[in-house]
């Protein structure tokens, strides 16, 4: 199991399905959370190994590969509270705490603030852990890419990205899938002279070859390397999406 420790919070990667990540969070004061349990069994196994019981489950959006494990986790951990987008609460099992944009939840010593990021789905939320300076972006922002527009418009996704760009550059970014390597080629085609991008691609190749996640990224890193995150206006953003899909 791979755990990334920052001063305020440990984040453990739990690979689920083909290329999804669920995450187990533990604050320094011992509060435990799970993000996007798309499958219950591997998450429960990891929690048992770490001798932890979750206090909260955070769901970024209603898709099965992020939410299918919620019901089973709830039957295992009865006191655990499920936090999910208010707009998608009827599509996700057993939601206890539905949150809208700007909702704040106390998570031990941390404040978790929701950022509504419609585009991939209409209700998608990103969870920003303020003291830990960490954001979970689900299928909205990927390292070197952006989520597929299943429900929202290009304009919505662009303004969702604008909100994420407003976070501090050093913010750690955890995405819902390990897509970085497969997305690198498109960024490089659009921006072939970008030295930061070339460096990031080499780093990602090295990490993946060794079996490590390419995450977390940072907001600052995405600003320098992710062509979608670099788009200055919605027209530029739309042109990139058209080019990627063609």
Q: How far is the CB of 176 from Fe ion (least distance, A)?
A: 5
- Name which of 97, 135, 87 is nearest 115 in CA terms: 135
Among positions 133-162, residues that touch Zn ion (CB under 5 A) are 139
Residue 139 near Fe ion by CB under 5 A: yes
Task: Tell me the longest C-alpha to C-alpha distance in the chain.
Answer: 53
177 binds Zn ion (CB under 5 A): no
**Alpha helix stretches (DSSP H) within the chain:** 41-49, 64-67, 70-76, 154-165, 180-190, 195-209, 219-225, 227-230, 234-245
Q: Site for Zn ion (CB under 5 A): which residue of 26, 62, 63, 113? A: 63
Question: 234-245 vs 180-190: helix axis angle to the nearest 10?
Answer: 110
Q: DSSP class of residue 130?
A: T
Q: Which span (3-11, 58-66, 93-101, 232-240) binds Fe ion, by CB under 5 A? A: 58-66
Q: Exactly one of 36, 39, 55, 65 binds Fe ion (CB under 5 A); which one?
A: 65
Q: Does 39 bind Fe ion (CB under 5 A)?
A: no
Specify the 3-state DSSP secondary structure of 9: strand
Q: How many residues bind Fe ion (CB under 5 A)?
A: 2
Q: Respond yes or no on whether the N-terminal peptide bond of residue 18 is cis (omega within 30° of 0).
A: no
Q: Which stretch binds Fe ion (CB under 5 A): 9-17, 57-65, 167-175, 216-224?
A: 57-65
Contact stretch for Zn ion (CB under 5 A) within 40-48, 60-68, 101-109, 110-118: 60-68
Binding region for Fe ion (CB under 5 A): 65, 139
Q: Rule CB under 5 A: which residues touch Zn ion?
A: 63, 139
């Amino acid at each position: 199991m791979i755990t990334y420790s920052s001063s305020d919070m440990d984040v453990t990667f739990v690979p689920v399905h083909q290329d999804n990540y669920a995450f187990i969070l533990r604050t320094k004061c011992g509060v435990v959370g799970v993000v996007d349990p798309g499958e219950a069994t591997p998450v429960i196994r990891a929690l048992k190994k770490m001798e932890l019981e979750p206090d909260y489950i955070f769901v970024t959006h209603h898709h099965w590969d992020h939410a299918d494990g919620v019901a089973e986790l709830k039957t295992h951990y009865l006191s655990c509270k499920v936090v999910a987008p208010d707009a998608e609460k009827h599509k996700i099992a057993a939601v206890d705490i539905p949150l809208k944009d700007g909702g704040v939840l106390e998570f031990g010593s941390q404040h978790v603030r929701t950022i509504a990021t419609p585009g991939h789905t209409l209700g998608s939320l990103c969870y920003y852990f303020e003291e830990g300076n960490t954001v979970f972006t689900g299928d909205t922002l990927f390292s070197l890419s952006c989520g597929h527009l299943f429900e929202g418009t290009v304009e919505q996704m662009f303004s969702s990205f604008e909100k994420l760009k407003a976070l501090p550059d050093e913010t750690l970014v955890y995405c819902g899938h390990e897509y970085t390597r497969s997305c690198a080629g498109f960024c490089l085609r659009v921006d072939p002279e970008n030295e930061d991008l070339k460096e990031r691609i080499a780093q990602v190749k090295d990490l993946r070859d060794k079996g490590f996640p390419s995450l977390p990224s940072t907001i600052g890193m995405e600003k320098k390397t992710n062509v979608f995150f670099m788009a200055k206006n919605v027209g530029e953003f739309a042109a990139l999406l058209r080019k990627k899909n063609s």
